[in-house]
Chains A and B, each alone.
Chain A
Amino acid sequence: MSTVLEQIEQQIAKLSSKGVKKNTGNIRTIADGVAKIDGLSDVMYNEMVQFPGNAIGIALNLEEDEVGCVILGDISNLKEGDEVTTTGRLLSVPVGKVLLGRTVDALGNPVDGKGPIDAKEFYPVERIAPGVVVRKSVSQALFTGIMAIDSMIPIGRGQRELIIGDRGTGKTTITIDTIINQARINRVGLASGDPKFRPVYSIYVAVGQKNSNIARTITALEAAGALEFTTIVAAPAADNPANLYLAPYSGAAMGEWFMENGMDALIVYDDLSKHAVAYRQISLILKRPSGREAYPGDVFYLHSRLLERAARLEGKGSLTALPIIETLAGDVSAYISTNVISITDGQIFLETDLFNQGIRPAISVGLSVSRVGSAAQIKATKQVGGKLKGELAQFRELAAFAQFGSDLDAKTKAQLDRGNRIVELFKQPAFSPLPIELQVAVLFAMQKGFFESIDIRKVVDAAASLKSFFTTRKDALLVEIRTKGALDAELEAKLQAACDEWKSSFAA
């Protein structure tokens, strides 16, 4: 009872202060979610301002006579002449583990109908990225569960890896697979009781996506049991451009909490093309000078300051970013694409042609790269898949060249045959990421020629059979690969024996 009274007394004490100073202004014009305000002479850049009816805005343009604000929330009740007041605060969002399993909007308000979020901490949406002194080089793997990526384009904790491709090429699927894989690894790791195990928490930021797509993503994550380790920040296509502009920064703030508190987090920005478009819309309404493709001059800074916030920190945790960019007709040289390519530590390029040929994930090996490289791979993957990228790139070149001639020498034929098998082996259905130990086993079998004698059309079935054989009958061996992280002579012998056993049963 006394606590309740104390709360009321504190509230009274707050209210009975002698006077409150406010800096005010009046709406001069309002259109498309942007208001021009007279007054507000004390307002700071990026400061939150209070509109009538609980709508808030952010001061983005500080001019001699007026202030340009983007409005977050319902603007239908605002009108010319309404009073606006400064708050002295920067826009902040709730952070912490309470957000896991929840879907929130760009301001951190829950939109999933699961009740209010009882957050103890708030982080500002805009923050300066960590500097060079506190950063540590990326050397710990973040497994996506996609064999083609983990073996050829490895991603490390704290890395920024762009996923780029035309619409409908499986960009979102790759990120959902990665989130599902983190959840699977988290469950295994937490159950093992290993004190050194570091779970990876995920944040999926949907910018300008259809509500139906967001719902589908939530359903997929829920079905895979990954939602409990994930926060979804939803700024759907129907949201106002200010929310679309802010959502990635809000997600980054939520991810930074994990990083600052010694944990690892993964953030997906789906997608930054629509983010740039939303920012262009705001900038044009604010009458900022426009440049190439009508984007404002600071569109590079828009993404660089966002992606620079992903890092691995000395003595703390990490934030890995997977931004997505949608290309038009496979053109990677467009304005926003080249900007984001130059900011990130590599890109995974998805090709429509490969996708239509049934090669999924449709990763173009030649155009995809990870600048962190093998530093973010475990030794076992390096041992079995070290040369794969080169082999596959060579195969694609040879395959294109071989279309023009029928007479091929035996060596070229063998290379093409091997390449085709690798391509078949890397085919992987959506939402079924593979544990790294299983990837090592499959790649080991491939390197040792266990798929050579199998008809190419049956390689996918053979790989599925091998995976099933290992998961059902060689679980102890998989655990040994996972714990050791490298293949020694003893482990190689065991793998060889297991593959022999599988081959005899498969052939039979």
Chain B
Amino acid sequence: MASHAKIAELFARQLFKLSMVGGAVSPEQVAGVLEYVEKHRPANPVVVLKAYHRFVAAELAKSEAVVEHAGAVNDAMLAAIAAAMTRQYGRPVVATAKPSAALIAGLRVRVGDDVYESSVAGQLAALASAV
């Protein structure tokens, strides 16, 4: 017999599937789902909504390239990254800049689970693990 957490997770996944239109998260559908949950509260609403939030966030992250940078990044560079990632993943990807001094120099681009590392901090970490 499935546990309460597992049942909540399954329910959240069903809600997540309802939130997708044409392979992308639809804001209208999300609003509809939230309204439904408000009206018909499930057994563990917080657990369901947390799992739902995780699924939606993971899906949205696939369409966003977060560009962490330690130096200056201009709009042209962001546009080039967005275009490259759109080609790579076959879906529209938007690039957003996020300054990070911890990188020392270079870039780190995160799209969903994938991380493209081209920073001095990353190279130093690789060197440290190789020694």
Contacts and interface: CB of A to CB of B under 8 A. Distances in A.
B106 to A, nearest CB: 9
Contact of B127 (A15, A25, A40): A15
Contact of A15 (B13, B110, B123): B123
Contact of B112 (A41, A64, A65): A41
Contacts of A24: 110, 113-115
A21 interface: yes
A22 interface: yes
A20 B112 contact: no
A47 B130 CA distance: 19
A65 B13 contact: yes
Contacts of B115: 21-24, 85
A453 interface: no
Nearest to A42: B113
Contacts of B110: 24
Interface string B109-131: 01011111110001100110110
A24 B122 CA distance: 14
Given A11-B130, A40-B113, A20 B58 contact: no
A41 B112 CA distance: 9
Given A11-B127, A41-B112, A65-B9, A22 B58 contact: no
Interface residues of A, number: 20
A181 B75 CA distance: 75
Given A20-B122, A65-B9, A54 B129 contact: yes
Nearest to B107: A19
Given A19-B118, A20-B122, A65-B13, A39 B113 contact: yes
Nearest to B106: A19
A52 to B, nearest CB: 10
B55 interface: yes
Given A15-B127, A38-B58, A22 B114 contact: yes
A65 B118 contact: no
Nearest to B88: A21
A19 B117 contact: yes
Contacts of A65: 9, 13, 55
Contacts of A15: 123, 126-127
A445 B115 CA distance: 76
A21 B114 contact: yes
Interface in B6-37: 9, 13
Contacts of A41: 112-113
Nearest to B109: A19
Contacts of A18: 118
B54 interface: yes
Interface string A19-58: 1111111000000000000111110000000000010000
Nearest to B128: A54
B129 A20 contact: no
A38 B54 contact: yes
A393 B115 CA distance: 68
Contacts of B58: 38-39
Contacts of B126: 15, 20
Interface of A: 11, 15-16, 18-25, 38-42, 54, 64-65, 85
11 contacts: A15-B126, A15-B127, A20-B118, A21-B115, A22-B114, A22-B115, A25-B113, A39-B112, A40-B113, A41-B112, A65-B55
Given A16-B123, A39-B58, 4 more contacts: A19-B116, A22-B117, A54-B129, A64-B13
